[in-house]
Amino acid sequence: MKLLLHAVSAAVLCFSLSSCDTLSSFGKPKYKFSVHIQGEPNDHPKEIIQFPFQGQQLIFKKVPEFGQTAIAAFEPFIADDGAGNGLLLKLDAHGRNMLENATRLHQGELLLTVVNGVPVDIIQIDSPITDGRFTIWRGVSDETIAQMEKRLPRISGLKSSSGYFEMTPSTAKEKREARRAAEQEKKYLEDMARRAERGEDVTAPRSKEIPLE
């Protein structure tokens, strides 16, 4: 479990990271996520990022624990404080391992989430995260979610990349196929709902689907 520490002020300045570049420079995808573990005052200045928070300077490692390429699927929700949207992220195998290692080794420390170059959320680690699910509690725009929809499936529609057991898609190809499968499933269910509204028997195939004898 992760404890929400505090919502980050929207006035916090953008970090001097590559994530602060304009989105057009990123190519695809047109969004950027990075999650950073808390650093130490004696860390090399070139290896840390910092900003003022509640009268103190918080320090985080510049190299993130994981970024947007580790996201296999997501589910948005409305932020409790009204600051945009939150996201539940399901990470691929690499991201899951990185998150588990970070949360095991840094109990009690902070994790900072940066979205499109802007720090949006800080949480405190109170237990290891072993299931590969990471929550961003606030600060994600509708536009970012729309861009994610073009590349990734929702968690609720995620299908296993294996036909025999549950396997989270990890490669770019597997993620594309998972999104395509989720879209097909959604269209199928919407079509069945429309047929049911028209009073059709959805347990029977359509006439064009009945084989000729």
- CATH of residue 10's domain is 3.30.1360.200
> Can you point out the beta strands (E) in the chain?
2-7, 33-37, 48-53, 56-61, 66-67, 71-78, 85-91, 110-115, 118-125, 133-140
**Do 142 and 176 belong to one domain?**
no
**Do 142 and 164 belong to one domain?**
no
**Do 26 and 74 belong to one domain?**
yes
Q: Find the farthest-apart pair of alpha carbons in the chain and give their distance in angstroms, rounded.
A: 80
By residue count, the chain amounts to 213
**Do 181 and 111 belong to one domain?**
no
pLDDT of residue 43: 92
**Does residue 37 belong to any structural domain of this protein?**
yes
**Do 145 and 185 belong to one domain?**
no
**Does residue 209 belong to any structural domain of this protein?**
no
Q: Encode 11-33: b = buried (16+ Cβ within 10 Å), e = exposed.
A: eeeebebebeeebeebeebbbbb
Regions of the chain where pLDDT drops below 50? 1-7, 9-27, 161-165, 206-213
**Do 45 and 136 belong to one domain?**
yes
**Does residue 97 belong to any structural domain of this protein?**
yes
pLDDT of residue 70: 93
pLDDT of residue 165: 40
Q: Which domain holds residue 49?
A: 2-152
Tokens of 10: 């929207």
Report how many domains make up the chain: 2
Dist CA 165 CA 118 (whole Å): 38
CB-CB neighbours of 137 under 10 Å: 23
